[in-house]
Amino acid sequence: MPQEQNSTNIWVIVVAVVITALVVGGVVYALQSSRLRSAEQSFQQQITLLQNQIDQLQQVKQNQNQNNQPVVDQNENVNQQVNQPEEIVYSNSEYEFSFQLPQNWKSYSIVTNEWEGYTPEPYAIVERGSLISIRHPQWTSQNPRQDIPIMVFTIKQWNNLQAGEFHIGAAPINPSELGRNAKYVFALPARYNYAFLTGWEEVGHILNNSPLSVSKPSE
């Protein structure tokens, strides 16, 4: 009998230990699970917070980029056209040519004269033609400025001049051609700026830019 009682007590103790272990293990597991869930929730909250901060930074950067972009005026092309300076062009319908002028020559005037071609020995005037001078608006008799002189020759006159059949002026230099069309040759007088009047440098600069054009070029 004592042995059976001892055996029973041992089983009771074993069962009690197992139950206690299971209970303790369950409690520990529950605590660990709770801690893990809490840590996971905290970690997820931190991730969400960081993501929100990243989104805010990206939005701020995007706004800065938009603010730094140049503002495009819908009327930009119209404004450019309005602000563009108006071209100053002298047009001659009789001889069918035009002459481009800078802005400060607005309100220019035209002085019409005549060139003469002569033979030196014996002296005789054998040719005549138009001499058109474009005059600066600031020209005055007290302070004359350099004109832009344009001599007009017929094709025949120009060819005869080149052949030496007559001369123009005292200088042994022929006028220089500015352009031509089917009927006329337009030329610059030799030594036209010899007096070095006010503005002679500007006139030289204008002429260097090939300002003369013709409506019906020669073939």
Do 101 and 151 have their domain in common? yes
Q: Assess if residue 22 is contained within a domain.
A: yes
pLDDT of residue 109: 97
pLDDT of residue 70: 47
Token pair listed for 210: 């090939």
| Collapsed DSSP state (helix, strand, coil) of residue 134 | strand
Token pair listed for 190: 């030799």
Compute the average pLDDT of residues 46-65.
69
Run of H or E residues at 111: strand 109-119
Bridging pattern class, strands 148-154 and 124-135? antiparallel
pTM of the model: 0.61
pLDDT of residue 78: 44
pLDDT of residue 72: 44
| Collapsed DSSP state (helix, strand, coil) of residue 52 | helix
Number of domains composing the chain: 2
Residue with tokens 């033609």: 129
Do 26 and 89 have their domain in common? no
Q: Assess if residue 75 is contained within a domain.
A: no
> Of 36, 69, 102, which one is at a domain's C-terminal end?
69
Query: At 56, is the pLDDT very low, low, confident or very high (cuts 50, 70, 90)?
Result: confident
Do 123 and 207 have their domain in common? yes
Ramachandran angles phi, psi of 86, nearest 5°: -70, 135
Higher pLDDT, 169 or 88: 88
C-alpha to C-alpha distance for 115 and 103, rounded to whole angstroms:
29
Q: How many degrees, rounded to 5, is the angle at CA 162 between CA 133 and CA 166?
A: 75
pLDDT of residue 123: 86
Structural domain range at position 35: 1-69
Residue with tokens 């300076």: 85
pLDDT for 71 beyond 50: no
> Of 21, 36, 69, which one is at a domain's C-terminal end?
69
Q: Assess if residue 74 is contained within a domain.
A: no
C-alpha to C-alpha distance for 216 and 56, rounded to whole angstroms:
69
Do 42 and 88 have their domain in common? no
Q: What Cα–Cα distance (Å) separates residue 17 from each residue in 10, 59, 129, 133?
A: 10, 62, 137, 128
Higher pLDDT, 176 or 47: 176
Higher pLDDT, 21 or 113: 113
pLDDT of residue 90: 97
Taken in order 122, 123, 124, 125, is the CA torsion positive or negative?
positive
pLDDT of residue 69: 53
